[in-house]
Chain A
Amino acid sequence: MTIEKLHEALINKQLSSVEVTNYFLNRIDTAKDLNAYIDVQPELSLAQARQADQLIAQGNQGYLTGIPIAHKDVFVTKGWKSTAASKMLGNYQSPFDATVVEKLGMLGSGMVCLGKTNMDEFAMGSSNENSAFGPALNPWNLDYVPGGSSGGSAVAVAAGLTIAATGTDTGGSIRQPAAFCGITGIKPTYGRVSRYGMIAYASSLDQAGPMAKTASECAWLMNAIAGKDLRDSTSIERENEDFTRLLGANWDSSNSNASQPLQGLKIGVPKEFFAKGLNHEVKLAIEEALKQFEALGAVCVEVSLPKTELSIPVYYVLAPAEASSNLSRYDGVRYGYRSEKYKDLAQMYTHSRTEGFGAEVKRRILVGAYVLSQGYYEAYYLQAQKIRRIIAQDFQTAFTQCDVLMGPVAPDVAWKIGEKSKDPIAMYLEDIFTLSANLAGLPAMSLPCGFNQSGLPIGLQMIGNYFNEAEMLQVANHFQTATEWHSMQPLQNVAGEKS
C-alpha cells in the first residue's frame, strides 16, 4: 500500500480513513514486540480519522487527507506524549504541536496521527539502542538494530505499522535507519522544514524529513511540510514548490527516450566513500545500483570529497557543543523529571540530570561542555567550524562536475543489538558517509538498493545541491520504477498477520 493507492481508495470511498486507521492500529498492537512506538492513543487517532472522513465526504480533502502517519517522538504533539525517548521527558505532554505535526495534521494536510515512534534518546545514536523505552527491533531480523536515531519510524514503515513517518536527521538519523530497514527517506536542505516543535539536539544540523516506502510518497510529504515558519528564524523563505512536479519526467526534457529517462544526468561518485572499511556486500550493491542508473541513461564520474574523514571529529565537536546547551533546559525545575533525592538546588540539578539522562546523552553533554569551555573553544569549536566550511566548499567543487552524488549510506548493514553499544567510537564511525551532508546543510536521501546474504537491507545515498530535492526525488523515482528493492517486505512478518 502506498500513499497514492490509499488516496485513490479513500476518495473513491472504497475505504474510509477510520477503516485504514483501525487496520494500522491493530497491526501496531499485534507487532508490539518490534517496539516501534512509544505512545499510541487509538481514540485520538480515530477521532482524527473521523474528521478526515468528514472532510472527504464534503469533498474538502487534500491529497494526504485521511492517510495515516507516525511521528518520531522528537516532535512535540498535543495529546500524545512527547518524550524524545528520554526518562527526562518520560511523561511530558506538550501544550502545542510541532510545526511539522501541525502541517501534516487536521489543521493542515489532514493526515491521521497513529502515534509517536521510538528513537535514540534526544536523537543521539545510530542504533535506537539509546532509548529509555528499549530498542526498536529491525523487522528484517529481530536480533538486529534498525538504525537510528529515527529507528522507530523506519521500523514502523518497513513493518507496515504505518504508511509513512516523520524523522529527523542531524548526522544521518533519517538516512541510516531507512537504509537499515529497506525504506526511502529524505533529509531536506537545512532550513527547508521548520524546526519549531522539534526537540532540539544540534540546532545547526537538525532537519526534519519524511520516511516512506518510495520516493514519490516522500515527494507528497515534502509538499506538506516544507516552507518558511515565522517561529523558526533559520527556516528559509522560498517560493512554494511542488516536489512531485518532476516525478516520471525525463531528466533532460528534450530527451524523449522512455527507456533512458536519466540521459544527461551526471552522477558524482566520491572516491572517499569507497575507501577501506566499506563492507564488501554493501560495495557490490552500490555498484549494482550505479550500473542500474547508467542503464537508465545516467553517466557516473568519479569526484573527490577530500575532507570526508574529518566530518566525524567535526561533527562530534559541533553537535555535542550545541547539544550541551540545548539540553540545559532539562533541569527538573519547570517540567520533566525531577529526582526525589535532593537537599539543595545543586543536588536537585545534579541528581535530576544524572538520573534523567541516559549514558550517551551524558557523554555528549560532557564532550560539548568541554569543547566550549575556556581555553578549548578555539582549539575545538572554532577549528571545527572552519573545517565545516571547507567541507561545504568541497561539495560545491564536486557539484561543478555532477548533478547529484551517490554512494553508500553507511559502511555496513545493520549490526546485532549490543554489538557496538559498548564502543561509542565504533558507533560514531558508522556515521562517516552521512555526517557531511548535515555539516554542509545539503539535501540527502536514502533508497533501498539490495540486501546482503543474510537478508539485511542495503541503502544507496544520494546527495543533491541546495534545494534540489525535487530533482533528487525525480532521479530516485526513476530508479524505483526500474527496481523492486523498495517493495520488498520483511520476512519477519507481524505475528498472526494475514494481509
Chain B
Amino acid sequence: MSQIEWEVVIGLETHAQLMTQSKIFSGASIAFGASPNEQACAVDLALPGTLPVLNEGAVNHAIRFGLAIGSVVAPMSVFARKNYFYPDLPKGYQISQFSLPVVVGGKIMIEVDGQVKEIQLTRAHLEEDAGKSLHDDFAGPHGESSSGIDLNRAGTPLLEIVTEPVMRSATEAVAYAKELHALVMWLGICDGNMQEGSFRCDANVSVRPKGQKEFGTRCEIKNLNSFKFLEEAILHEVQRQIELIEDGGRVVQETRLYDPDKMETRSMRSKEDAQDYRYFPDPDLLPLQIAQERINGIRALMPALPKELREEWQNTYGLSSYDTGLLTQDKALAHFFIEVLKLIEIDLAKPAANLMAGEFASAMNKESLSADLAPVRPIHIAELLKRTKDGTISNKIAKEIFSQIWELGLNASDRQESILLEGLVDQIIDQKGLRQISDVGAIEKIIDQVLIENPKSVEEYRSGKEKAFNALVGQIMKASKGKANPGQVNTLLKQKLI
C-alpha cells in the first residue's frame, strides 16, 4: 500500500464562562467554590412557576467579544430551548441560541512558525451552563454510596465560540485556543481559569488525503480543559483515525472523550445515539434586540486590543515585534507599560520596553505575579530610565536599583504606601552612593591607580593585545564599584595609554 499523505482538519468550539455578578437567567451568584447548591436559587432549581430573566451584563460581554473579532452583532437573536433529560439539567432543557446567535462571523489571527493565519469564526452564542453530577466520594443521606447533583454551576453564563473547520494541525488549534484565551481575558469577559472550567474546548477532528476536497468523517472530542490536553487529544485522535483508515476501517461520527492518563480518546456516544434536541424558541424570553446605540456605547468603552497596541508601539516608538508581543501578552502588563509611557519622553520608550521585557518580565515570572500587583511601579521604571539617560547612573546600576525596589516592595508590609513613593529611585541612589562618577578628575584618579597596579596589562596593550584594554576597563569599573561612567572610562583610558 502506497503511503498516503494525510491532511488534518480541525474546528474548535470553546465555552468561555462569562464574568458576571449573577447567572444568565437568575439572580444567584456565580462565584466558584461554594458548597453544593448554596448558589442555586428557585429559578436555577427550576421550581414550578419560575421564569428566566436575561442578564444584560452577559449580553454586553457577548457584544464586546463580537466587536473585538470584527463580527456582526446581530440586531436580533433568539433564545431557544435545547430539550434533553439529565439530572444536572434542572428544567429538562438548556436555554441556548440556535438558528439566530448573537454574534455572527468574525476572525482571530494566529501566528505559527512566523506565519500569520486567519481563523474564521462561524458564530458565538449565549447559553446557560448545566450543573454537575457528583459521583465520587458522595454519600447519600444515610451515608450510603449515591450520586448527587450540585446546581451551583447551573445557569452560569457561557459564550460558545465556534470556528470554521480551518485549522490544519494541533499546533494551529493550540495557537488559536491560546489567542482566544488571551483575548477573552483581555476583554475582561472571562477569567480564563481552565482548571475551574471557565474556558474549555471541544475539538472537531477529521482527516482526509491531501488534495481531497471533501471533509472526512469527524469526531468531536469533548471538554478539553488545558492547552496540553487539547494538543495531545488532537494528536492521538488524528493518529487513531489515520491508522483506522489505513487498516481498511472507517471513521464513525461520534463524540469522544480524552483520557489524559491513558493518552487516548475513547468513544462516548455515536451519532446513532445522538439525541433530537427538539429546539424551539423559548416562549419565556423575548427575542434579544440589540440597538446600534448600545453597540456604539460598548465600542466606546472597549479597551485597545493587543493587536492595536502592538501596531501603535511599533509605529510610534519603533519597538520590535518581539517586545510588543511580550508586552501585550496580558492586559495588566500592557497597562503597566502604557502607564510607563505616560511618564517618559518618547526616546525612552525603547529602553523602557527593554527593561520591561527583560528585568521586569523575569522578576514577575519568578514570583508568578501579575503586573498590576508588581512591587515595582511605573513611576520607578520611569525614574530609573531618566536617571540612566541623564548619566546619573549606569545601566548596570539601574538594574541593581530595580532589584532593590522589587525586594523592598515585596517585603513591605504596606506595599501601596512605601512603594508608590515618588523619588524613591533618587533616594536609593543617594543613600547607597550609587551616583555615577562622571567627574574627569575622579575617574582619572581611579585609572591612574589601576594602571599602577596592573603594569602587565598596560604592557600587553601597548604591545598590541586589544584584549588587555577590556581587562583594564573591567578593573577600573570594579574599583569604582560600577559607578564610573563607562563612556568616560573608555575615552580617558585610551588617552592615558597613548
Contact A329 B46 (CB under 8 A): yes
Instruction: List chain B residues, Cβ under 8 A from A196.
Output: 49-51
Shortest Cβ distance from residue A247 to the other chain B in the assembled complex, whole angstroms: 32
Q: Which residue of B lies closest to A322 (CB)?
A: B283
Contact A204 B53 (CB under 8 A): no
Contact A325 B49 (CB under 8 A): no
Instruction: List chain A residues, Cβ under 8 A from B272.
Output: none
Instruction: List chain A residues, Cβ under 8 A from B60.
Output: none
Contact with B278, one of A203, A325, A331 (Cβ below 8 angstroms):
A325
The main secondary structure of chain B at its interface with chain A is loop
Instruction: List chain A residues, Cβ under 8 A from B149.
Output: 333-334
* A233-B54, A325-B81, A331-B85 known; A199 vs B280 contact (CB < 8 Å): no
Q: Identify the stretch in B88-96, B462-470, B479-487 within 8 Å (CB) of chain A at 4 or more residues.
A: B88-96
Contact B276 A234 (CB under 8 A): no
Contact A331 B92 (CB under 8 A): yes
Contact with A233, one of B46, B81, B279, B285 (Cβ below 8 angstroms):
B285
Instruction: List chain A residues, Cβ under 8 A from B47.
Output: 76, 94-96, 335
Instruction: List chain B residues, Cβ under 8 A from A377.
Output: 278-280
Asked whether any CB of chain B lies closer than 8 Å to the CB of A328, the reply is: yes
Instruction: List chain B residues, Cβ under 8 A from A245.
Output: none
332-356 of chain A: CB within 8 A of chain B: 333-335, 345, 349
Instruction: List chain B residues, Cβ under 8 A from A230.
Output: 53
Asked whether any CB of chain B lies closer than 8 Å to the CB of A381, the reply is: yes
Complex: A92 Cα to B47 Cα, angstroms? 10
Shortest Cβ distance from residue A97 to the other chain B in the assembled complex, whole angstroms: 9
Shortest Cβ distance from residue A55 to the other chain B in the assembled complex, whole angstroms: 27
Shortest Cβ distance from residue A379 to the other chain B in the assembled complex, whole angstroms: 14
Contact B90 A329 (CB under 8 A): yes
Q: Identify the stretch in A58-66, A146-154, A254-262, A367-375 within 8 Å (CB) of chain B at 4 or more residues.
A: A367-375
Complex: A327 Cα to B48 Cα, angstroms? 9
Asked whether any CB of chain B lies closer than 8 Å to the CB of A321, the reply is: yes
Contact B286 A233 (CB under 8 A): yes
Contact B50 A203 (CB under 8 A): no
Complex: A322 Cα to B51 Cα, angstroms? 14
Contact B286 A325 (CB under 8 A): no
Contact B90 A325 (CB under 8 A): no
Contact with B48, one of A94, A232, A331, A372 (Cβ below 8 angstroms):
A94
Contact with B283, one of A84, A95, A203 (Cβ below 8 angstroms):
A203
Asked whether any CB of chain B lies closer than 8 Å to the CB of A432, the reply is: no
Complex: A94 Cα to B47 Cα, angstroms? 8
Contact with B along A79-119 (1 / 0, CB 8 A): 00010100001001011101000000000000000000000
Contact B51 A195 (CB under 8 A): yes
Asked whether any CB of chain A lies closer than 8 Å to the CB of B45, the reply is: yes
Contact with A200, one of B49, B90, B279, B285 (Cβ below 8 angstroms):
B49
171-215 of chain A: CB within 8 A of chain B: 195-200, 202-204
Asked whether any CB of chain A lies closer than 8 Å to the CB of B193, the reply is: no
Asked whether any CB of chain A lies closer than 8 Å to the CB of B42, the reply is: yes
Contact with A along B354-397 (1 / 0, CB 8 A): 00000000000000000000000000000000000000000000
Asked whether any CB of chain A lies closer than 8 Å to the CB of B83, the reply is: yes
Contact B280 A372 (CB under 8 A): yes
Contact B91 A231 (CB under 8 A): no
Contact B83 A325 (CB under 8 A): yes
* A329-B46, A329-B90, A372-B83 known; A233 vs B51 contact (CB < 8 Å): yes
Instruction: List chain A residues, Cβ under 8 A from B54.
Output: 233
Contact with A along B193-232 (1 / 0, CB 8 A): 0000000000000000000000000000000000000000
Contact B46 A234 (CB under 8 A): no
Contact with A along B251-291 (1 / 0, CB 8 A): 00000000000000000000000001011100111100000
Asked whether any CB of chain A lies closer than 8 Å to the CB of B87, the reply is: yes
Asked whether any CB of chain A lies closer than 8 Å to the CB of B105, the reply is: no
Contact with B52, one of A197, A233, A345, A369 (Cβ below 8 angstroms):
A233
Shortest Cβ distance from residue B89 to the other chain A in the assembled complex, whole angstroms: 9
Complex: A402 Cα to B140 Cα, angstroms? 65
Shortest Cβ distance from residue B91 to the other chain A in the assembled complex, whole angstroms: 5
Contact B90 A372 (CB under 8 A): no
Instruction: List chain B residues, Cβ under 8 A from A84.
Output: 48
Contact B284 A325 (CB under 8 A): no
* Chain B: number of interface residues, binned into ranges: 20 to 34
Complex: A197 Cα to B52 Cα, angstroms? 12
Instruction: List chain A residues, Cβ under 8 A from B93.
Output: 325, 328
Contact A94 B49 (CB under 8 A): yes
Contact with A92, one of B46, B48, B87, B92 (Cβ below 8 angstroms):
B48
Q: Which residue of A lies closest to B284 (CB)?
A: A203
Shortest Cβ distance from residue B57 to the other chain A in the assembled complex, whole angstroms: 15
Shortest Cβ distance from residue A160 to the other chain B in the assembled complex, whole angstroms: 29
Question: Interface residue count for A (Cβ, 8 Å)?
Answer: 43
Complex: A324 Cα to B54 Cα, angstroms? 22
Contact A234 B286 (CB under 8 A): yes
Instruction: List chain B residues, Cβ under 8 A from A381.
Output: 280
Contact A334 B48 (CB under 8 A): no
Complex: A94 Cα to B93 Cα, angstroms? 21
Of B42, B149, B279, most A-chain CB atoms within 10 Å? B42
Contact B87 A333 (CB under 8 A): yes
Contact A232 B51 (CB under 8 A): yes
322-348 of chain B: CB within 8 A of chain A: none
* A76-B49, A197-B49 known; A321 vs B280 contact (CB < 8 Å): yes
Complex: A94 Cα to B276 Cα, angstroms? 32
Shortest Cβ distance from residue B79 to the other chain A in the assembled complex, whole angstroms: 10
Instruction: List chain B residues, Cβ under 8 A from A327.
Output: 92
Contact A373 B48 (CB under 8 A): no
11-57 of chain B: CB within 8 A of chain A: 42, 45-54
Q: Which residue of B lies closest to A332 (CB)?
A: B87
Contact B286 A329 (CB under 8 A): no
Instruction: List chain A residues, Cβ under 8 A from B81.
Output: 325
Complex: A233 Cα to B285 Cα, angstroms? 6
Instruction: List chain A residues, Cβ under 8 A from B286.
Output: 233-234
Instruction: List chain B residues, Cβ under 8 A from A373.
Output: 276, 278
Contact B83 A204 (CB under 8 A): no
Complex: A75 Cα to B81 Cα, angstroms? 24
Contact with A199, one of B48, B90, B92, B278 (Cβ below 8 angstroms):
B48
Complex: A325 Cα to B89 Cα, angstroms? 13
Instruction: List chain A residues, Cβ under 8 A from B42.
Output: 95-96
Q: Which residue of B lies closest to A335 (CB)?
A: B47
Contact A374 B276 (CB under 8 A): yes
Instruction: List chain A residues, Cβ under 8 A from B90.
Output: 329, 333-334
300-330 of chain A: CB within 8 A of chain B: 321-322, 324-325, 327-329
Instruction: List chain A residues, Cβ under 8 A from B50.
Output: 196-197
Shortest Cβ distance from residue B371 to the other chain A in the assembled complex, whole angstroms: 40
Complex: A329 Cα to B42 Cα, angstroms? 13
Complex: A199 Cα to B48 Cα, angstroms? 5
* A76-B49, A92-B48, A233-B51 known; A328 vs B284 contact (CB < 8 Å): no
Contact B280 A345 (CB under 8 A): no
Q: Which residue of B lies closest to A353 (CB)?
A: B85
Contact with A231, one of B53, B279, B280 (Cβ below 8 angstroms):
B53
Complex: A76 Cα to B51 Cα, angstroms? 13
Contact B49 A199 (CB under 8 A): yes
Instruction: List chain A residues, Cβ under 8 A from B85.
Output: 328, 331, 349
Q: Which residue of B lies closest to A203 (CB)?
A: B283
Complex: A233 Cα to B79 Cα, angstroms? 13
Instruction: List chain B residues, Cβ under 8 A from A335.
Output: 45, 47
Q: Which residue of A lies closest to B79 (CB)?
A: A233
405-431 of chain A: CB within 8 A of chain B: none
15 contacts between A and B (CB under 8 A): A76-B47, A76-B49, A82-B49, A95-B42, A96-B42, A196-B51, A199-B48, A199-B49, A324-B83, A324-B278, A328-B83, A329-B91, A333-B149, A372-B279, A377-B279
Q: A325-B280, A328-B92 are in contact. List 8 more A-B contacts (CB 8 A).
A: A94-B47, A96-B42, A200-B51, A231-B51, A328-B91, A334-B90, A372-B279, A372-B280
Closest 5 CB pairs of A and B: A328-B92, A372-B278, A204-B283, A203-B283, A197-B49
Interface residues of B (CB under 8 A from A): 42, 45-54, 81, 83, 85, 87, 90-93, 149, 276, 278-280, 283-286
